[in-house]
A and B are shown apart, each in its own frame.
Chain A
């Protein structure tokens, strides 16, 4: 364990899983949406639903959606900040099948009309996992720069994407392919060692058969 995880992290309390992790989930949602969210529906599951209110999980999630970091002193005031920044939100509870106890399902609408649905879990010590994206099961931590690529499920897509990344000199740490059981669409999750530029995502979006590509910074 890194010594700065022993004296640290610096965070807004009270709980690394229910507060700091929740902020990071919100942040990842915002980054994946790729623009300012104007509307958010947040459905809490398990322990998030049961004790989230006492831990400020609700405020933490909204803070993340607004782009605040887990050590931002404004987290407790995030509801008010949301009003000032034009984000409306509503909370509910949900019972997700075989999900981690600290899970939340987010539906976000961005200012230009982009929509994103994501389920993520806070798995302890402030670490998180995104478990589902727009109905597609997957798993990533957002601790490294990550590229999410949606494609038509056809042969060659994985090779095409890897080729572009190799050509741009990007070192891949992990590469996952997730297929929607209903067929038709697949999602690649590519974790890299170095930051991924927006141009790289742009390159990948131009590959035939690729439906979308979003790169996010490590959160």
Chain B
């Protein structure tokens, strides 16, 4: 019951109706769920506000129940604020925002799943610093969220956004693709460029496994959100420069799903493979859970 089953269809719809992509997504999804465009807008705006609140509510002293998460966003923040980071202020902000949101999630704060709780840091990590740097207004950010949702809904319809079904490529990978498209939108890119950015981002995360230590959404998830955000920026920059994905977006999404189906269960959120199967992870699990 997705609004659009393919990126091709989404772009064609925008072409035929001359609606901007964000508006096509808003109108079609509102119609589908029987709400007005205004109600939809308010709901999406509410999501943006919760992202901003979560970002602002971060406390450096907060730790997760397991003790595995907390405090890293603060370290990242200090590093770039003191001028010590390699890539400067904007990138530093993206990295610390991603860690901040993911740590909020690990520490039982209120977040917006985007598309999942485990990958909730990626989209706000590119949107919020972008808005600060380019003085983007709230309306534009809400529209960017519709763009992200539009590509997310195609991914969910053709493939999956669940780590248990298709690995982390489907969670942080999808988040990264959604974020990349949103960034292209914010920076004035065309619809095709948004689609290319999403495809490039997804290709770069293809095959990423879901391997949470002790089954907790913390390690490697928190830091992976930082990588997903940077990957979104990479893909958006490439697409804005006019670089195209040689493989059409729909085929990339289908390939991601096929890879997910090939993944053994141990690499799909069971906490039995990948980094979760490392000796240190196993020892942690035994110490914390006694099993």
**Contacts A53-B289, A55-B216; is A4 near B110 (CB within 8 Å)?**
no
Which residues on A sit within 8 Å (CB–CB) of B46? 10
Whether A2 and B29, one on each chain, are in contact in the complex, defined by CB atoms closer than 8 angstroms, is yes
Stretch at the interface among B81-89, B132-140, B154-162: B154-162
B246 at the interface (CB under 8 A from A): no
A29 at the interface (CB under 8 A from B): no
A124 to B162, CA, bound (A): 9
Which residues on B sit within 8 Å (CB–CB) of A124? 162, 164
Whether A13 and B215, one on each chain, are in contact in the complex, defined by CB atoms closer than 8 angstroms, is no
Whether B29 and A16, one on each chain, are in contact in the complex, defined by CB atoms closer than 8 angstroms, is no
Stretch at the interface among A70-78, A177-185, A208-216: A70-78
**Contacts A3-B153, A15-B118; is A10 near B50 (CB within 8 Å)?**
yes
- Number of A-B contacts defined by CB within 8 Å: 129
B117 at the interface (CB under 8 A from A): yes
Whether B112 and A7, one on each chain, are in contact in the complex, defined by CB atoms closer than 8 angstroms, is yes
* 1/0 contact string of A6-44 vs chain B (CB within 8 Å): 111111111110011000000000000000000000000
Whether A51 and B145, one on each chain, are in contact in the complex, defined by CB atoms closer than 8 angstroms, is no
Considering only CB atoms, which chain A residue lies closest to B44 in the complex?
A7
> How many residues on A have C-beta within 8 angstroms of the other chain's C-beta atoms?
32
A50 to B105, CA, bound (A): 20
Binding site for B on A (CB under 8 A): 1-16, 19-20, 47, 50-51, 53-56, 59, 71, 73, 75-76, 124-125
12 new A-B contacts, CB < 8 A, other than A15-B117, A15-B118, are A1-B156, A2-B32, A7-B44, A10-B111, A10-B113, A11-B111, A11-B112, A14-B217, A14-B218, A54-B64, A55-B216, A55-B217
The 22 listed contacts between A and B (C-beta, < 8 Å) are: A2-B33, A3-B3, A3-B25, A5-B113, A6-B149, A6-B152, A11-B113, A12-B111, A13-B107, A13-B108, A14-B118, A15-B117, A16-B113, A16-B116, A16-B117, A47-B215, A53-B289, A55-B217, A73-B109, A76-B108, A124-B162, A125-B116
